[in-house]
Chain A
């Protein structure tokens, strides 16, 4: 459920660069970042 997701996955601001410019999106990345 959400609780498991919160523990295993964390929200991240991810930077994207295209030919038109740069912006950021919120994505989920697994907790293996630790």
Chain B
């Protein structure tokens, strides 16, 4: 409710865009981490629902007493275009609604609560007895399961709670993680406050499935740099955790990643192959400029398949503060030649002109090895369902408290180029199709997160 939640003031509403016949939102089932993604294939056009009847005398959102049956005409993300039963071909009162909102229910919901369905004013005189009409319209039709709203509620719950300690990439030094405490959770997006920071530091936001957040003890185990208080480091050594420490069981994706890594290690051993080694060259998404895929070097191989990567676009930092940790199963690192093979502009190392860079010459010149392509995840392309020009809501990774309206501008296998509406292409982001920073249209409204609208450039003042 925007009235009771000041954080939602100015949030963008999709409704006017949804009426554009060319508008296509990415389907909810494409976003595996999104609420109801697993059940969304059962939500179909033609389905009947009971929904608030706003076509009545004295309707006010404060007294939403009247309900009527409506048909789902279109589905875009979580939003559905509904038409009240009895309107036939009359589209004058069609309206968009968030299907997961509390004003939409399965047919039968009102009767269970002893409330009669009230026909909309526009059509109330069309039939003298609505029973015959409704029997004809509803018999054999589909509706939502009676547990739909409970499922929505369940799927919105986070695994985490406020007060838990985690290790999160340090926004001021990306080569290290820093101990932080969860302060707020909105739609499974987690706001943390780093330990020992000024009051004016606004902390960091990431999704609970983000690869930027780790369980307690992670840095110690994999050999990653960490900034933490001495008593925390003692706990890492002893392995005895506080009740407020977020342990590995809360990170199922990272546990799965560990299993995948063990499988890769044994596969490599069977085939007498080696994995990633220091000095190998790769192509990697620049963590500080997600619109670029750059020439990069594996600077260090950590435990459990983690790699420290340096993007070569910048001058090398003497303190290694520009290194960044990617897991070797990450879909954000690629074998040399990936960009060329997919007609993507590769950002060359510092000192090279775009277009003048050649991998073979560079490997020779630097006397280094290209990481072999079988080590990368990029060849596994799931049937993700994303297509160019689909609309969605996406986190601005450079300011991750913001979720913005966006469009998929390119699909390369499992890799998506996400464009922020109204912004220059320099602000685009390459993201994997399974990124937890992408959400269906209507997600912000569902979880009460502000949605940033397209940038509107106002004309210069005369």
Asked if B117 and A18 sit within 8 Å, CB to CB, the answer is yes
Q: B115 contacts which chain A residues (CB < 8 A)?
A: 17
Is B111 among interface residues, defined by CB-CB distance under 8 A? yes
Asked if B116 and A30 sit within 8 Å, CB to CB, the answer is no
Asked if B139 and A26 sit within 8 Å, CB to CB, the answer is yes
B:132-186 near A, CB below 8 Å: 134-135, 138-148, 151
Q: How far is the CA of A29 from the CA of B117 in the complex (A)?
A: 20
Residues on B close to A: CB < 8 A?
Answer: 39, 42, 48, 106-108, 110-112, 114-118, 129-131, 134-135, 138-148, 151
Asked if B151 and A15 sit within 8 Å, CB to CB, the answer is no
- B-contact bits for A10-23, CB 8 A (1 contact / 0 none): 00101111111111
Nearest opposing residue in chain B for A30, CB measure: B42
Chain A CB within 10 Å, residue with most, of B114, B116, B118, B134: B116
Asked if A16 and B148 sit within 8 Å, CB to CB, the answer is no
**A20 → chain B, closest Cβ, in Å?**
6
Asked if B116 and A8 sit within 8 Å, CB to CB, the answer is no
Other A-B contacts than A14-B107, A25-B135, A28-B141, 12 sampled, CB-CB below 8 A, are A8-B42, A12-B108, A14-B138, A15-B112, A16-B138, A21-B131, A25-B107, A25-B138, A27-B48, A27-B107, A27-B141, A32-B151
Asked if B131 and A23 sit within 8 Å, CB to CB, the answer is yes
- Interface size for A (C-beta < 8 A) is 22
Is A33 among interface residues, defined by CB-CB distance under 8 A? yes
Contact pick for B140, options A15, A17, A26, A30, CB 8 Å: A26
Asked if A14 and B116 sit within 8 Å, CB to CB, the answer is no
Nearest opposing residue in chain B for A29, CB measure: B145
Chain A CB within 10 Å, residue with most, of B108, B115, B134: B108
Asked if A17 and B114 sit within 8 Å, CB to CB, the answer is yes
Nearest opposing residue in chain B for A32, CB measure: B145
**B57 → chain A, closest Cβ, in Å?**
15
**B115 → chain A, closest Cβ, in Å?**
7
**A22 → chain B, closest Cβ, in Å?**
6
